[in-house]
Amino acid sequence: MIEILRTTEQFQIFRKHIKTDLSIGLVPTMGNLHKGHLSLAKESLRANDITVVSIFVNPMQFGPNEDFEKYPRTLGEDAQLLKELFRSEGFPKSGQKRLVIFAPESVEEVFPSGYQTKIEVGQLTDKLCGLNRPGHFEGVTTVVYQLFNIVKPTRAYFGQKDYQQYIVIKKMIHDLRLDVQIIPMPIKRDDNGLALSSRNQYLSENEMELALNLPVTLNALKQIIKSNPWPISYELCHAEIEKKIKSNTGWDYLELLDAKTLESPQNTTHTVIIAGALKVGTTRLIDNKLAEVVYA
Amino acid sequence: MIEILRTTEQFQIFRKHIKTDLSIGLVPTMGNLHKGHLSLAKESLRANDITVVSIFVNPMQFGPNEDFEKYPRTLGEDAQLLKELFRSEGFPKSGQKRLVIFAPESVEEVFPSGYQTKIEVGQLTDKLCGLNRPGHFEGVTTVVYQLFNIVKPTRAYFGQKDYQQYIVIKKMIHDLRLDVQIIPMPIKRDDNGLALSSRNQYLSENEMELALNLPVTLNALKQIIKSNPWPISYELCHAEIEKKIKSNTGWDYLELLDAKTLESPQNTTHTVIIAGALKVGTTRLIDNKLAEVVYA
């Protein structure tokens, strides 16, 4: 059974009738679903009685010069993809699992007129995507808080392409003692290595070539970490990063950080994240690789 | 029965054992209780099965040059005052009402090490006390959110001396769909008219005289509103305010606003707030009066 709810009130009525012993998985998306989103929905369907895929292009997380207006809105196709996933996973037969699409029909459904309360995670948002997208993470944490509030999920699924987003939301959940389990899911990639993103469709064929520089660079850096003892590997990576940034003005950032704290790695660091944001034409793409450091 | 809990864990254990059909009133304070606080506690005792008076001097709502260090901490006396209130209200007899003091023994009890998530209400905090105390309301809303989170009250009591605070918290509750009822309580005053405040004790005898300028001015402005038709009364008040501000450099602000929106009053305004903040020596005092406008 699959249904689409278009208002918060509708959703809240639906939510009220869910028995308290059933588990609910939330997959928050901005729609225009690709295999990355579907892998989250699939895992949520497996682990929960009810899966809610929210589809909401959240204006609060876009900057004034970003692509809010242009962001693809494809509810019909999204619903079709979810229906197919639901069917292919064999759930209609059992009759127990449910998939619900919560697609607020207007911004006011989530942020009613006069809304003015924001939730902001501090230090973790001062870097990487937070640097060149002021207010972005505040928009993300605020909308995720609202979605948690409306959906009241047992578990929430986030893709690791937006690794900083995952860490920031995890911190919000911890600090605000929210009663939800956050589940990070691995990045889905095209055959050519490019991380799946709704923004990939903005790329021309030529730009697609340039975009591959992003995963190729991250992979090369990951190889350095894997094949050298720590912290020599850090020095080597660091030098390589400086070279890359000098040779291409498209890098918004290219960094190696402790995966847990998003601070500079320490002698005691176990896992690093190699994260990059690359501008290709007018499109800004992000990607990252996690790597365990090697102690000699 | 009255008890003091000093850690969040202790409180949470206590909270878990409260039957779900009992009502809980929260009176958030920074301690150093006076009759204003006690009037809130009294009302909470009347209306709820369990009253929680929290005592926590919240560093997040103090500016770097404010009186956080110097703020009076008097837990022993506070507990004694609450015990006397409880006894004088005749509650020990009935055995049903309970009064609990939640007095976190350290800042980390409320904001554990590494805490970095803030809650910020927008436009309503851009004025009055928000102008000269950047970050103040963010600190207030964040700590109140945490106290709500720990205490999970049915009702929360706030004094109207901090009228802007009351309006801001009400907005946070609404925007974040928090399940708590906010109850504003009237300002308590000394016989001389000065609004009760823990900061009054900073005043020398001479400064006390100067401080009375605050309620006297607010009263005079309220009389103008009461005895003239709207919006003539607004023009008269406005002129009087300009005069007052020119004649005394101690005013942090002195303003007449719509009581509901904290915006400039409109032709349709029903109730105005006349709010002032006056610096007397190094002490900053605030006070306000509500007044209904008179339509001719």
pLDDT in tens, A110-150: 999 999 999 999 999 999 999 999 999 999 999 999 999 99
Q: Contacts of residue A171 in chain B, CB cutoff 8 Å?
A: 116-117
Specify whether the CB–CB gap between A233 and A294 falls below 8 A: yes
- What is A2-185's CATH topology? Rossmann fold (3.40.50)
Give the C-alpha separation, A157 to A43, whole Å.
8
Nearest to A121 among B117, B141, B150 (CB): B117
Specify whether the CB–CB gap between B120 and B61 falls below 8 A: no
Mutate to test the interface with B, among A116, A120, A125, A152 (most CBs of B within 10 A): A116
Are A120 and B117 inside 8 Å of each other by CB? yes
Mutate to test the interface with A, among B117, B145, B171, B263 (most CBs of A within 10 A): B117
Amino acid occupying residue B223: Q
> Chain A within 8 Å of B261 (Cβ-Cβ)?
no
Share of chain A above pLDDT 90, in %: 95
Strands B283-292 and B271-280: antiparallel
Strands A155-159 and A117-121: unpaired
- Angstroms from B161 CA to nearest CA on chain A: 23
Which residue does chain A place closest to B177, by CA atoms? A149
- Angstroms from B145 CA to nearest CA on chain A: 8
A1 pLDDT more than 80:
no
Of A86-95, A249-258, B181-190, B233-242, where does mean pLDDT reach its minimum?
A: A86-95
Residues 6+ away with beta carbon under 8 Å from B31? B55, B56, B57, B72, B73, B74, B75, B78, B103, B198
- Angstroms from A178 CA to nearest CA on chain B: 9
Nearest to B124 among A116, A120, A149 (CB): A116
DSSP state of A248: -
Residues 6+ away with beta carbon under 8 Å from A278? A211, A213, A214, A248, A250, A251, A252, A284, A285, A286, A287
CATH superfamily name and code, B198-295: Pantoate-beta-alanine ligase, C-terminal domain (3.30.1300.10)
> Chain B within 8 Å of A175 (Cβ-Cβ)?
yes
**What stretches of B35-123 show up as alpha helix (H) in DSSP?**
35-47, 75-88, 91-94, 107-110
Are B176 and A121 inside 8 Å of each other by CB? no
pLDDT in tens, A188-213: 999 999 999 999 999 999 999 999 99
> Is A37 considered catalytic here?
yes
Which residue does chain A place closest to B111, by CA atoms? A175
In sign, the C-alpha dihedral spanning A177, A178, A179, A185 is negative
What is chain A's mean pLDDT, rounded? 96
Q: Contacts of residue B142 in chain A, CB cutoff 8 Å?
A: none
pLDDT for B94: 63
What's the token pair of residue A280?
A: 């290709």
pLDDT for B253: 97
> Chain B within 8 Å of A262 (Cβ-Cβ)?
no
Nearest to A171 among B117, B122, B177 (CB): B117
pLDDT for A94: 63
Which residue does chain A place closest to B150, by CA atoms? A177
Are B175 and A116 inside 8 Å of each other by CB? yes
Are A149 and B176 inside 8 Å of each other by CB? yes
Q: Provide the whole-model pTM.
A: 0.95
- Angstroms from B114 CA to nearest CA on chain A: 9
pLDDT band at A90 (very low <50, low <70, confident <90, very high): confident
- State the span(s) of chain B assigned CATH 3.40.50.620: 2-185
SS3 category, B255: strand
> Chain A within 8 Å of B171 (Cβ-Cβ)?
yes
Specify whether the CB–CB gap between A165 and A140 falls below 8 A: yes
Q: Contacts of residue A123 in chain B, CB cutoff 8 Å?
A: 116
Which residue does chain A place closest to B119, by CA atoms? A119
Helices (H) and strands (E) in chain A, counts: 10, 12
Averaged pLDDT, groups of 10, chain B, 296 residues long:
93 97 98 98 97 98 94 97 93 82 98 97 96 95 98 98 98 98 98 96 96 98 97 96 94 97 94 98 97 94
Are A171 and B116 inside 8 Å of each other by CB? yes
> Chain B within 8 Å of A259 (Cβ-Cβ)?
no
User: A198-291 has which CATH code?
Assistant: 3.30.1300.10
pLDDT for A2: 83
> Chain A within 8 Å of B122 (Cβ-Cβ)?
yes
- State the span(s) of chain B assigned CATH 3.30.1300.10: 198-295
- State the span(s) of chain A assigned CATH 3.30.1300.10: 198-291
For A102, phi then psi, to 5°, come to -105, 105
